Structure 1
Amino acid sequence: MSTKIKDYRIQFIQELSAIYDAGEAESFFYLILEEKKQLKRIDLALNSDLTFSNEEIQVWNSILEELKQEIPIQYLLGKTSFYGLEFEVNENVLIPRPETEELVEWIIGDYFVPRNDKKVKILDIGTGSGCIAIALAKNILNAQVFAIDVSEKALATAQKNAKINAVNVTFIEKNILETEDLGQQFDIIVSNPPYVRELEKQEIKKNVLDNEPHLALFVEDNDALVFYRKIAELAQKNLSPNGQLFFEINQYLGKEMMELLEKMDFKNIELRKDIYGNDRMMKGVI
């Protein structure tokens, strides 16, 4: 006994309609179809008689139930794409966001290739899946990339991702809040640290709140800039002359971030909005 894929597709989308809009549910269907059966949308369009076996239906029904529980599809598939690269993801790391791709794009676009073979040293603080560090290592000529995270499990995932994408990144387990000096100079320091305040939890979707690591998401309401302040202090000591500091920031704290970097004597401070029009990225020069 087998089931036509086109018929199951209709059922799949209908069962998710209470949680996701039809377009999102359909995108889930085709992502899973390509991963589990190596079929694309065009294959189904060209052959409407393609079928699932009973065993395949059991797998799909299991995934469907997990999607109903709002487990992110990236975790169910165990991977996602970021800046044109593939990354393994799991419950130990945040799922990379499109806004973070914009930060990477800014760094790459802002960066000019040196006229000699001098290595450009880059540090990513709070690397998680390694998405920022690995995308920069892949796209900046002569980059020597280092990445710090407090989570041993996150670093294990990041190391796998560096291998998947064939780049060399030096990963370091370190609690940045307990670090007084980074021990070397860098040309670029970048960080997407925890920045969601507890008071903003109600704005976070259930699939994120229930599944992604809170350690990488949240900060206390009374000191929302704790990571930014510490990283900026380290940047003062450990950025080379004219070195650049890049941050992804809380959209509600753009003004406070500008004031923080101004007080710490950073130059050429620039605040940029993301594709959704939110204050999201910041750069300062030491």
Structure 2
Amino acid sequence: MKTIKDVFENYKRMLKDIYDANEIEAITLLVINEICNLSKAKIKAFPETEILLEQNNELNNIFEELKTGKPVQYILGKTEFYGFPFNVNPSVLIPRPETEELVEWALASVGSRQSAVGSILDIGTGSGCIAVSLKKNLPGYKVSAIDISGEALQTAASNAVLNNVDIEFIKHDILNIKSEIKIPKSEIIISNPPYVTLYDKTQMHTNVTDFEPHSALFVPENDPLLFYKAIANFAITNLTQNGLLFFEINESYGNETVELLKNKGFKGIELRKDMSGRDRMVKAVNSGSGE
């Protein structure tokens, strides 16, 4: 009979060419937690615990998928973001910890959360992780979210149901705004748009480039700020006066993004680093009325 320790050793030995040791341990812990319904504390404390045959078969099946480089979140079909559960699949990006920092920054800008009212628009919502997390923490706000992908919007809608929040989802291409689509003005616009260049792609792990949706990741090498330009233009007329614009950004284009927003008349622009010390977030204030 296999034990928890055996599973860790097997995963470590067979996945060492794909992931580093810390990643393998985290993945193995997550998989055992899910399949064996054991807390992570128990898994670590009792490595000699025996694995049932049926559980071992499931662990082996997951292992075979992991060997292809497929992200564990897609294999399990779910992940956690900002303390909330989310369904994920290859139609949406897997939510990252850096994006949690963006959500926290937006929440901190609101002040007293439970009594706050207003409206928020999430552009390029993907799994809906930003929109759902903001709505959970700002129940008085009306939250809307747009995405070009119908499949992504279905996943986002399922996550709104999963987390028991009411969000308006709109299928819309921010690069091709149609006048007949009416989106109400918001106090906050927030976005984690595509920003990965072809050069960046060469530096990325294949479990991202081979499995996560390219439409949510990549931009042309000669126009890396394509989506930031479009969203900034949209925000000029769709943010309220003194409304806030939040971006997650490519760490290589922090100063360029700040300059772009300055040139478009935004004020109070702040570039912030993430937990790893990389330029990763920008906040700006809409200086006009948007009329």
Instruction: Report the TM-score when normalising by structure 2.
Output: 0.92
Q: 1:109 is matched with which residue? A: 108
More strand by share: 1
Mark the CA change 1:56 to 1:266 in structure 2 (over 3 Å): closer, same or farther.
same
Q: 1:202 is matched with which residue? A: 202
Matched residue SS, 1:176: coil
Mark the CA change 1:107 to 1:44 in structure 2 (over 3 Å): closer, same or farther.
closer
1:1-286 aligned at under 5 Å gives the runs: 2-44=1-43, 50-113=49-112, 119-179=117-177, 182-286=182-286
**Are the counterparts in 2 of residues 180 and 234 from structure 1 also a CA contact under 8 Å?**
no
CA RMSD, 1 decimal: 1.9
Alpha-carbon distance between aligned partners in 1 of 2:150 and 2:250, rounded to the nearest angstrom: 25
* Bigger mean CA offset, 85-94 vs 54-63: 54-63
**Are the counterparts in 2 of residues 127 and 148 from structure 1 also a CA contact under 8 Å?**
yes
**Are the counterparts in 1 of residues 110 and 116 from structure 2 also a CA contact under 8 Å?**
no
What are the Cα deviations for residues 62-86 of structure 1, in whole angstroms up to 9, with x where unaligned?
2112112111111111111111111
Report the Cα offset of residue 48 of structure 1: 5.4
Report the Cα offset of residue 41 of structure 1: 4.0
Alpha-carbon distance between aligned partners in 2 of 1:81 and 1:138, rounded to the nearest angstrom: 14
Mark the CA change 1:232 to 1:46 in structure 2 (over 3 Å): closer, same or farther.
closer
**Are the counterparts in 1 of residues 144 and 167 from structure 2 also a CA contact under 8 Å?**
yes
**Are the counterparts in 1 of residues 35 and 59 from structure 2 also a CA contact under 8 Å?**
no
Alpha-carbon distance between aligned partners in 1 of 2:135 and 2:199, rounded to the nearest angstrom: 36
Alpha-carbon distance between aligned partners in 1 of 2:70 and 2:41, rounded to the nearest angstrom: 27
Mark the CA change 1:39 to 1:171 in structure 2 (over 3 Å): closer, same or farther.
same
Alpha-carbon distance between aligned partners in 2 of 1:167 and 1:214, rounded to the nearest angstrom: 28
Matched residue SS, 2:59: helix
**Alignment coverage as a number of residue pairs:** 284
Report the Cα offset of residue 24 of structure 1: 2.1
Letter in 2 for 1:75: Y
What are the Cα deviations for residues 94-138 of structure 1, in whole angstroms up to 9, with x where unaligned?
0011111110010001112499x7731100000000000011001
Mark the CA change 1:41 to 1:96 in structure 2 (over 3 Å): closer, same or farther.
closer
Letter in 2 for 1:178: N
**Are the counterparts in 1 of residues 33 and 43 from structure 2 also a CA contact under 8 Å?**
no
Give structure 1 stretches of 5+ with no counterpart. none
**Are the counterparts in 1 of residues 29 and 43 from structure 2 also a CA contact under 8 Å?**
no
Matched residue SS, 2:187: strand
Alpha-carbon distance between aligned partners in 2 of 1:53 and 1:206, rounded to the nearest angstrom: 33
Mark the CA change 1:55 to 1:257 in structure 2 (over 3 Å): closer, same or farther.
same
Give structure 2 stretches of 5+ with no counterpart. 287-291
**Are the counterparts in 1 of residues 113 and 138 from structure 2 also a CA contact under 8 Å?**
no
Report the Cα offset of residue 200 of structure 1: 1.6
Alpha-carbon distance between aligned partners in 2 of 1:42 and 1:243, rounded to the nearest angstrom: 44
Alpha-carbon distance between aligned partners in 1 of 2:80 and 2:40, rounded to the nearest angstrom: 18
Report the Cα offset of residue 4 of structure 1: 3.0
Alpha-carbon distance between aligned partners in 2 of 1:259 and 1:48, rounded to the nearest angstrom: 53
Report the Cα offset of residue 54 of structure 1: 3.4
**Are the counterparts in 2 of residues 30 and 40 from structure 1 also a CA contact under 8 Å?**
no
Alpha-carbon distance between aligned partners in 2 of 1:139 and 1:276, rounded to the nearest angstrom: 25
